[in-house]
Amino acid sequence: MKQLVILISGRGSNLQALLDAGLPCRIAAVVSNRADAEGLDIARAHDIPVAIVEHRDYADRDSFDAALAQAIDAFQPDIVALAGFMRILSNGFVSRYHGRLINIHPSLLPAYGGLNTHARALQDGVWIHGCTVHFVTPDLDHGPIIIQAAVPVLRDDTEQILAARVLSQEHRIYPQAIKWLCSGKIILDEHDRVKFMNREQSGFALVSPSLE
């Protein structure tokens, strides 16, 4: 059974979704850069080992990333999943876990990389927004895409309402992506593109606002 290490910084809602999903792999550890991350309590409640590597204890990003990698490698992961991990990782760290490091991002990448995605989507007046699971590369929020979910942006949406609608889809697609990885149903090909093994794609379209 493959080993999964999950990195968090906050409340751990995607961690909880992964725990609820019955993944076909073992969650070997939860690692956080914050000792007060609420998600650590979720891990402890499920008897999952935790490790804390406080970024504030290190003089620079490279030294923090070296300590973080040491903590992760102690659990010998096949997959490392960023689940609300709010640190930008160095190129060396990303290269170390090439093809094994994935992230969930609250936008339909490549649109709205970085922070404040929901506010930016509302400001631009888009009608369709969503979330993306992707492999992590040195190019921030631009790695090969595994799965996306789209949601409509409604007329009376606030940033908080839209964020909640997107988050509910994050909790659906992140477990799915990890299930595919654990079962070998997706790989990165020689061009670093996601390749599905023996899977048909749907032709379903989301139109927002709806057609009359």
Strand order from edge to edge, sheet including 101-105: 50-52, 26-32, 3-8, 79-82, 101-105, 128-135, 145-152
Q: What's the burial of 12, exposed, middle or buried (CB within 10 Å: 0-12/13-18/19+)? A: buried
Dist CA 111 CA 128 (whole Å): 11
Q: Could you count the other beta carbons within 10 Å of the beta carbon of residue 29? A: 21
Q: Are 68 and 96 in contact (CB under 8 A)?
A: no
Residue with tokens 């659990």: 75
Q: Return the ∠ at Cα 137 (arms to 131 and 141), rounded to 5°.
A: 30
Dist CA 42 CA 86 (whole Å): 18
Dist CA 154 CA 161 (whole Å): 9
Q: Which of 105, 129, 134, 171 is labelled catalytic?
A: 105
Q: Is 105 a catalytic residue?
A: yes
Q: State the catalytic residues.
A: 105
